Amino acid sequence: MLNCLYRHTGRLLRSASLLFVATGIVTTAPSLMLSAEFSVVSAAYADDDDGDDGGSDDGGSGNSGRSGSDGGKRFRGPQTLMDYLDNRRQIQAPRTRSTAKKRQQAAPVYEPRRLVALGLSDENIAQLQQQGFSVADRVEMRLTGAQLTRLQIPAKMSLQTARQRVSALVPDAVVDFNHYYQPEQTSALETETKPAPAACNGTDCTLMRDLIGWNEPQAGAATCTSLPKIGLIDTAVNPDHESLKQARLEIIRLSDDELPQSGTQHGTAVAALLVGAENSRAPGLLPQAELIAVDVFHGTKGDNNRATTYDLIRAIDLLAEKQVPLINMSLSGPDNLLLQKAVEAAAQRKITLVAAAGNEGPHAKPVYPAAYQNVIAVTAVDRNGNPYRRAVRGEHIDLAAPGVGVWTAASVSGARQKTGTSFAAPFVTAAAARLKAEKPDLDNRQIAEELSRQAKDMGKPGHDPVFGWGLINAQSLCTS
């Protein structure tokens, strides 16, 4: 009887929740004329980053990212209350069979039995080998001049103990777990169903560029003489997609060849947003630009893509060696000491790093690399300027860009709508490229400051945790 009553009560609560969502009021603003300040902030109710299943249909869907830990980037206000409420929500949430099953099948946060370390000498390695450690991989990190090492820990030793052992032996070394990072993408089972969008062909596929004035330069705007190289750290990219066949595209795979290749859905969509052919069904923002795409991900048994800290650092290092001044990272994961060092080293080389803010929800903790001090964190809005409902919020958010229902390439052929902060980041990367082309002497900090200064203020006046400094504004940039 009690079980029956519990089930009946649960159904009533779920029905009430659905009724509340269905009757919620969403305010909108004209897509072309965004006011400098929004008195009411309403969420854009749309899918998460698209769980593109590899087809060529012109359909829309979406997905969510992963959570990280605190640290790294500046915080302009306390977050204790939000963290408290978030923890209370997790504790009090009813644990259904489906949620329990999902928790059991949750992906691991870091590589088992492995650590990553920066700054171990040959002598240090020999000492560690005497204690049962072994070297799985080791390369020189050109950004710092130090050795980046992937260590296999001794049998029957925990990762935490192993980390403490290495740090005690070499206090100057930077040691951490080999954390996993994910593209902002979810499974098809979690993807909400949306009606197929209208067909989009050729130059009519505006990618919501009108929202930021991409094709509406101010009078007297200069012409971009030479666009800089753009780096992309993402999943695999399909070079045979019609939007990318003629692109100036170099693809490098860093992940172990023995591991399954990552899917092409996410990387192809982001690459096409940047450099897709102008006359294709998924035209890019900068079709003339050169793109170097580094695939750091590999497939897993659960049909997910993940990358390790080790490969992510190697990708940043590789692009720095190739003298790439701009890097787009539409991925997220936990805070990591070595990744933070790599970001700091890239910033010292004046490299502009742009990252998706993440799709964990407005009360989630910051994710990385977006939350690091030297990274431009990009959130997503819809065509009416409403914030994407699952975008991570916080004082580390820098800029907002279109990211709900963005038209871009499907993984095999054709195009479809995509949603999430992953697809907002390329708009800021493209704007930074135009600014760099117009003013090549600007360094990464100056580019971030200039883009923030030109942004259209949204939400509360000045910087706020929802929109950052506001919506990216491309009208004053040079035209390509």
Cα torsion 145, 150, 152, 153 to 10°: value is 70
281: alpha, beta or left, given left = phi > 0 and alpha = psi -120 to 50? alpha
**List of residues 6+ apart from 340 with CB closer than 8 A:** 71, 72, 368, 372
Task: List Cβ neighbours of 185 (8 Å cut-off, separation of 6 or more).
Answer: 49, 50, 51, 63, 65, 265, 266, 305, 420, 422
Tell how strand 174-183 and strand 305-308 pair up. antiparallel
The residues pairing with 135 across neighbouring beta strands, listed in sequence order, are 151
Question: By C-alpha distance, which of 284, 181, 196 is closest to 233?
Answer: 181
Q: Which of 47, 50, 52, 266 is catalytic?
A: 266
> What single-letter amino acid sits at 127?
Q
What is the rounded (10 degree) CA torsion for 477, 207, 426, 424? 110
- Given a contact cutoff of 8 angstroms between Cβ atoms, the answer to whether 432 and 447 are in contact is yes
User: Catalytic: 266?
Assistant: yes
C-alpha 40/C-alpha 112 separation (Å) is: 46
CA distance linking residue 297 with residue 305, whole number of Å: 6
Select which of 396, 422, 464, 480 is catalytic. Answer: 422
DSSP β-bridge partners for residue 356? 378
Which residue intervals of 223-303 are DSSP H helices?
265-275
Catalytic residue among 48, 50, 176, 234: 234
- Which are the catalytic amino acids? 234, 266, 422
